[in-house]
């Protein structure tokens, strides 16, 4: 949820910073849906991957062991 909130805020920030982005981007419009969507998807996947390893590790611990 936190990663999705960050993506939403980032996309909103990108819309507000269109003028700055226009000068930095090469052969891409600041409102290019494919570029924004793919960047957001990569960030969400990276966040999910970062959360996956600790979550899987936590599932291998017995609940009684976690109480100690």
Domain residue spans of the chain: 2-62
- What pLDDT shows up at residue 23? 74
Q: Are 30 and 22 in contact (CB under 8 A)?
A: yes
User: Whole-model pTM?
Assistant: 0.60
- What pLDDT shows up at residue 17? 77
- What pLDDT shows up at residue 29? 75
- What pLDDT shows up at residue 66? 65
Q: Quick one: which of 13, 8, 52, 55 has its CA closest to 30?
A: 13
pLDDT digit string (tens) for the chain, length 68 residues: 887 888 888 888 877 877 777 777 777 776 778 888 888 888 889 888 888 988 898 888 887 776 76
**To 5 degrees, how large is the angle CA 38–CA 52–CA 37?**
10
Q: Quick one: which of 2, 5, 4, 35 has its CA closest to 18?
A: 35
């Amino acid at each position: 949820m936190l990663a999705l909130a960050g993506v939403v805020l980032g996309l909103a920030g990108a819309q507000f910073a269109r003028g700055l982005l226009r000068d930095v981007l090469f052969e891409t419009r600041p409102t290019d849906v494919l570029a924004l969507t793919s960047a957001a998807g990569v960030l969400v996947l990276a966040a999910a991957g970062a959360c996956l390893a600790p979550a899987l590790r936590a599932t291998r611990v017995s609940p009684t062991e976690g109480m100690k």
